[in-house]
Chains A and B, each alone.
Chain A
Amino acid sequence: MILYLMCFFLFLVGVYGAITKRDLIKIILAIGIMGYSVNLFLVLLAYRTGALAPILEKGFNVPMVDPIPQALVLTSIVIELGVTALMAALAIRIYQKYDTFDITKIRRLQG
């Protein structure tokens, strides 16, 4: 259980960064940290003690870990990179328009 708690703590570090930082780049990095912790949590749930990677070998019949969360996390990692690139592009355009990455100075984005 301590491993799960540490993983959740990593998620909370990401949330802390996303809600208290004023720098757009820091916010992008904080969202990345949240993504890491969710991926790690899914794979932690799938682990079985003493099991090996899910790759068949001729003549061996050993216990293997659960492959389904691994497939889901593979999907998630790829999408995360695309989303990071999209956020970086948006941040660059915002910088070009307002000359700053400070979100409190970007007046027109505030509601």
Chain B
Amino acid sequence: MQNNFPNEGMSVIVKTITRFTVWLIFLYGLYIVLHGHLSPGGGFAGGVIIALSYVHLTLAYGKNFVLARVDKFAMNSLESIAAILFVLTGIVGLYVVGNFLANFMGIGKLYTLISAGYIPMLNIFICVKVGMGLYLVFYYLASFKPQEG
């Protein structure tokens, strides 16, 4: 990746190491989310790990590097869309089964990856919502300049 802001962030050593570690952290977050119904973890932990991978990138390369690749408006929208999809899942359950937020997908086979009905889907929604929201909180708190008011 080409870096348009070479003077921001930390030293060259940190940037080189970051290039190797940030993908591993992101992959670990995805693993935690997708295996949330099989092993410890779930949407909240995985979402925060994904947010931490962005925080890692921000601390090492400076905030303009991240903002040039990921739009702030897109993050905000993704967060809201995930919340809306969570509620829409509940309404689909209301139509199909009869209860709000009821499981409408069947439960599948125990101990396999594709199982537990809508739990993996809800885990993904929660992950997107928590991850994007907490990264934006970090971004706003870290980049707040008092004199701009």
Q: Do chains A and B touch in the complex (CB under 8 A)?
A: yes
A interface majority secondary structure: helix
Number of A-B residue pairs with CB-CB distance less than 8 Å in the complex they form: 24
A78 in contact with B44 (CB, 8 Å):
yes
Choose the segment among A14-22, A23-31, A32-40, A81-89 that binds chain B (4+ C-beta atoms closer than 8 Å).
A81-89
Q: How far is the CB of A44 from chain B (nearest CB, A)?
A: 19
B134 in contact with A81 (CB, 8 Å):
yes
A88→B141 CA distance, assembly (Å): 8
Tell which of B42, B137, B144, B149 has the most Cβ of chain A within 10 Å: B137
B44: chain A residues within 8 A (beta carbon): 74, 78
Q: Does A42 reach chain B (CB closer than 8 Å)?
A: no
A5→B111 CA distance, assembly (Å): 40
Q: List the 9 closest A-B pairs by CB distance, nearest first.
A: A96-B146, A85-B137, A78-B44, A58-B111, A92-B144, A88-B141, A89-B141, A74-B44, A85-B141
Please list the residues of chain A having a beta carbon within 8 angstroms of any beta carbon in chain B: 53, 55-56, 58, 74, 78, 81-82, 85, 88-89, 92, 95-96
